[in-house]
Structure 1
Amino acid sequence: MVEEAVRAQASIDPVALRRAFGTFVTGVTVITTREADGTPRGMTANSFTSVSLDPPLLLVCVGKSASSFQAFSAAPSFAVNLLHEGQVGVSGVFASKAADKFQTVTHDRVHTGAPILTDSLTWFDCSVHDRVDAGDHVILIGEVRAFGTSPSAPLGFCRGRYASVKDPLPAGWLASHGMIIGYLVEAEDHLLMRADGKGGWVLPTAKRRKADSQLMLEGGELSLVPEDTFLYSVFDVADSDPGYLIYRARLAEGAAAALPAGLQFFPVDDLPYDLVPTHELRSMLCRYARERREKRFGIYMDTGDGGRVAMMEGPAQAWMQVTQD
């Protein structure tokens, strides 16, 4: 009986087995950590799954032949960054043997200190809960300490190639208190808009609530004039969908020469209203164009009876100047 079991195990073709495993459609992640001296390390992986909600646990498998295996074997924390459909290039970089993979991405520290890729679909910042030896891999089990997500479409992988996932965000998937951060980015007499992939145009969306000199967008970043960024509008689209925080901003000089893919400037007086997918966004853009002509902007707050607008008089001033006056 033992001899038959050994013979059956030896008859399995590892190449064919790998192909069979590859028929399971997965997402694509970049797992990251730091060496003892603080050097960031990372690799592409798709062997990821959730484990438990209480306590909040997940796992990812790290190959023992990976160049960053020793770092993941010793570090007390790590992060799992799920990639969106626009990050095929990021997946390729972290799957390569490039000397400085992090040079091509923006990353930050959140809770444990593990590198978080700020322009990702979803990220999980984890402390190591357990490590389990499993053949030519180690199962790395992490306890989630912090996480963040976005409404972007995920990057899929199947049969050794990237796959597209259709309709990734059904209505009501996000909590109604979630907020999408949009930006009215102006350059001279033009406004920046983003193609929504369905033939329409929407505002660029950001990962963070407030931008300074750099605005981190899906697929890239923009340089802004920080003193010209102000809150402009706060509103909901529907009870089941996330709300919107809209800021107005001005592009830094020369930044228009390197726009991320999918972004395009339109004349403020000739915006593509017919191609804006929601009534709320169209109304907000109409108000913005009108107030810009009048050089008198307001801040809109959504309410059940149609909303409120508080108008601002005069040019912006530094807070220190106001308090001194």
Structure 2
Amino acid sequence: MFLTGVTVVTVLDEEGNPRGITANSFTSVSLDPPLVLVCIGNRSFSFPIFCSAPSFAVNLLHEGQADVSGLFASRSPEKFRSTGFGPKYTGAPVLTDCLAWFDCTVHDRVFAGDHLILIGRVQGFGPSEPASRTAPLGFCRGRYTTVRDAPDGGAEAPHGIQVGYLIEADDGILLQSDGAGGWRLPGGRSRKAEWTLPLADGGTLPLRPDDSFLYSVFDIAGQDAGCLVYRARLSADAATTTLPPGFRFFALDALPFEAMPMRETRAMLRRYIRERQADRFGIYIDSSDGGRLAMVDGSTSSWPGAFAENG
């Protein structure tokens, strides 16, 4: 008798393939930090993936998507063949047509009874146009329902920031499959430069901490969101190991620009190619008049060392 909304919770498996299930056990947890939770039943075919994936997305369905709810409640292998989706911030698949979405990294996992309580830290959220102006899909007493006179929340732009890593190796760049036939920069979990690169299976690839440095800050066209990109290199141990599924090094003259959905990423990588050829790099900061580029001369040093040297 408790009226709930209906969501599709999506995730990438260890091979970078999109997976998703229908869930109505979704709720907010905290505003500071921004946390939400969803409960995943242990009988779900995708349960093991949610137990290990570093990120997931919650897609709120609108009143015209009862069929989508039924599809993702099944074990059909056709779920994503007829459903549009793409990455936003963490790389988790976000449905193109839904009421709204939350893109989350995993904050905690709690096993309770026959369910996994998956707590996510929201990295970005927003509506999907034009569905954001329709009523939400509801569920009550074992059947779908709609909310009459649902207020129009307007079309607020998504919030948050995407963190990417431009991983260098010899004359190549490490890219990650987005699960939809495209390629993107591997993503991080924090806005600060990290020493490890998170993987879909919950593992990490170690980075060289003395070789990570800010490279680019830019807005995403059409969104109230932006990107931070760091240059980095894999540690010596990681560089000699086999890359996990979904990751691949591309030579500079063979980057798959046509398979990169974000125009800003394509422009940034073309700048990187020019700077790599000159062996002189800069930091790009976006602005309303086209941005600013400051060249960086010399090698980096730790702040404590520089502070002591300069008194």
TM category, shorter: 0.5 to 0.7
Tell me the CA shift for residue 161 of structure 1: 6.6
1:238-288 deviations in Å (ceiling 9; x for gaps): 233632111111011231424232111011243222332232111100111
Does the aligned pair in 1 maintain the 2:45–2:75 contact within 8 Å? Answer: no
- Distance, in Å, in 1 between the alignment partners of 2:190 and 2:78 is 28
Tell me the CA shift for residue 81 of structure 1: 5.6
2:218 paired with 1:235: yes
1:281-317 deviations in Å (ceiling 9; x for gaps): 1110011111122222111111011000111111112
Tell me the CA shift for residue 162 of structure 1: 7.4
- Distance, in Å, in 2 between the alignment partners of 1:310 and 1:184 is 18
- Structure-2 residue corresponding to 1:249: 232
Secondary structure, counterpart of 1:185 in structure 2: strand
2:295 paired with 1:311: yes
| Structure 1 residues 88 and 287: CA distance shift in structure 2, 3 A | farther
- Structure-2 residue corresponding to 1:296: 280
| Structure 1 residues 321 and 93: CA distance shift in structure 2, 3 A | closer
- Distance, in Å, in 2 between the alignment partners of 1:26 and 1:279 is 28
- Structure-1 residue corresponding to 2:261: 277
Map 1:1-325; keep pairs closer than 5 Å: 27=9, 48-50=24-26, 80=37, 91-92=47-48, 105=52, 119-121=54-56, 157-159=72-74, 164-165=79-80, 166-167=83-84, 168-170=94-96, 173=127, 175-219=157-201, 220-240=203-223, 242-256=225-239, 257-325=241-309
- Distance, in Å, in 1 between the alignment partners of 2:193 and 2:38 is 22
| Structure 1 residues 79 and 280: CA distance shift in structure 2, 3 A | closer
Secondary structure, counterpart of 1:186 in structure 2: strand
Does the aligned pair in 2 maintain the 1:224–1:249 contact within 8 Å? Answer: yes
- Distance, in Å, in 2 between the alignment partners of 1:88 and 1:187 is 37
Q: Provide the aligned length of Structure 1 versus Structure 2.
A: 209
Secondary structure, counterpart of 1:316 in structure 2: coil
Does the aligned pair in 2 maintain the 1:25–1:157 contact within 8 Å? Answer: no
Tell me the CA shift for residue 195 of structure 1: 2.1
| Structure 1 residues 218 and 231: CA distance shift in structure 2, 3 A | farther
User: What CA RMSD, in Å, does the superposition of the two structures yield over aligned residues?
Assistant: 3.9
Does the aligned pair in 1 maintain the 2:171–2:252 contact within 8 Å? Answer: yes
- Distance, in Å, in 1 between the alignment partners of 2:269 and 2:194 is 23
Does the aligned pair in 2 maintain the 1:184–1:203 contact within 8 Å? Answer: yes
Amino acid at match of 1:92: P
- Distance, in Å, in 2 between the alignment partners of 1:180 and 1:294 is 28
- Distance, in Å, in 2 between the alignment partners of 1:310 and 1:26 is 43
Question: Structure 2 length as normaliser, TM-score?
Answer: 0.55
Larger helix percent: 1
* Long gaps (5+) in structure 2: 1-5, 12-20, 59-70, 85-93, 98-125, 128-155
Tell me the CA shift for residue 217 of structure 1: 3.8
Tell me the CA shift for residue 170 of structure 1: 3.5
1:86-138 deviations in Å (ceiling 9; x for gaps): x977x2378xxxxxx8xxx4xxxxxxxxxxx7x12159xxxxxxxxxxxxxxx
Tell me the CA shift for residue 319 of structure 1: 1.8
Tell me the CA shift for residue 222 of structure 1: 1.5
